[in-house]
Amino acid sequence: MTKTPKRRPRNAERTRVEILQAALEEFSSMGHSGARVDRIAARAGVSKPMIYDYFGDKDAIYAEALREAYVQIRRGEEQLTLDPDDPCEAVRELVRFTMDHFRRKPWFIRILNTENLMGGETVARLHDAAEIQSVLVKRLSEVLAQGAQQGVFRRHVDPAEFYVSMASLCYFPISNMHTLRAVFRLPIDDDWLDRRALEASDMLLSYLTADTLPSERPAPPRST
């Protein structure tokens, strides 16, 4: 007869990590108010008091979970390698990576939505928030420079602004999948998202490779 141990073994670091991932999932699937400390404890296989021991209170766990979401995406971005000789392909790769990360780690989008719903008070207090996505923007910056130098891309495209456009096109179809499905009857699944990634790339590259921007062209002659 084997003794089933009633307590989990003493392992502070492991416990901390498990609580954090559990919290990330709970907060991102239920929102801040909807999240339940009991469920975080259950998901993490830990008793409730542990959570308070490790983190303090619900808001503090939330803040740590939010930071964890950023840390995870940064880890992904750091592994990204881009071909410096083919800026167009590099842009495609960036789009694929972004769409993929949003898709594979659904809690990232969800906890960002939660945070924005709450007015961003917590992210404003994450002291290292700014560094977090710096990796991606730096990569993007290099790609844009490379493309411009090769004469393939227009010049003077701001990397952060361009990142916002790219992120927009990847974020919205995923974050709003449920309402889009209901309202437009769109067939939202992995294939559809792949096609969205392709379309996003096309759109971004059309913009980057256009000789002149539409807003700078002369008004076309009206058809009479």
Which residues of the shown chain bind DNA in the complex (CB under 7 A)? 5-12, 15, 35-38, 46-50, 52-53, 57-59
Residue 21 beta carbon to DNA: minimum distance, rounded to whole angstroms = 15
Please give the Cα distance from 140 to 99 (Å, whole number). 15
CB atoms within 10 A of CB 168: 11
For the record, the structure tokens of 208 come out as 């980057």
- Compute the least distance from the CB of residue 43 to DNA, in Å: 13
From DNA, its own copies, none, interface partner of 112 (C-beta below 5 to 8 A by class): its own copies
Q: With respect to its own copies, which residue has the nearer C-beta, 2 or 220?
A: 220
Nearer to DNA, 48 or 125 (CB): 48
Q: Rank residues 1 and 183 by Cβ distance to its own copies and give the closer one.
A: 183
Q: Per CB under 8 A, which region of 4-12, 39-47, 52-60, 83-91 contacts its own copies?
A: 83-91
Chain center to CA of 35 = 20
- Distance separating alpha carbons of residues 196 and 176, to the nearest angstrom: 13
- What is the nearest approach in angstroms of its own copies to the Cβ of residue 50? 16
Interaction with its own copies in 173-192: which residues (CB under 8 A)? 173, 175-186
**Which of 174, 28, 186 lies closest to 99 in space, CA to CA?**
174
The distance of closest approach from Cβ of residue 54 to DNA in the complex, given in angstroms and rounded to an integer, is 7
Q: Name which of 29 and 72 has its Cβ closer to its own copies.
A: 29
> Distances in Å between the alpha carbon of 13 and those of 27, 66, 70, 175?
21, 19, 20, 32
**Partner whose binding site includes residue 12, from DNA, its own copies, none (CB under 5 to 8 Å by kind):** DNA
- The answer to whether the CB of 160 falls within 8 A of the CB of 108 is no
Give the span between the Cα atoms of 143 and 88, in whole angstroms.
9
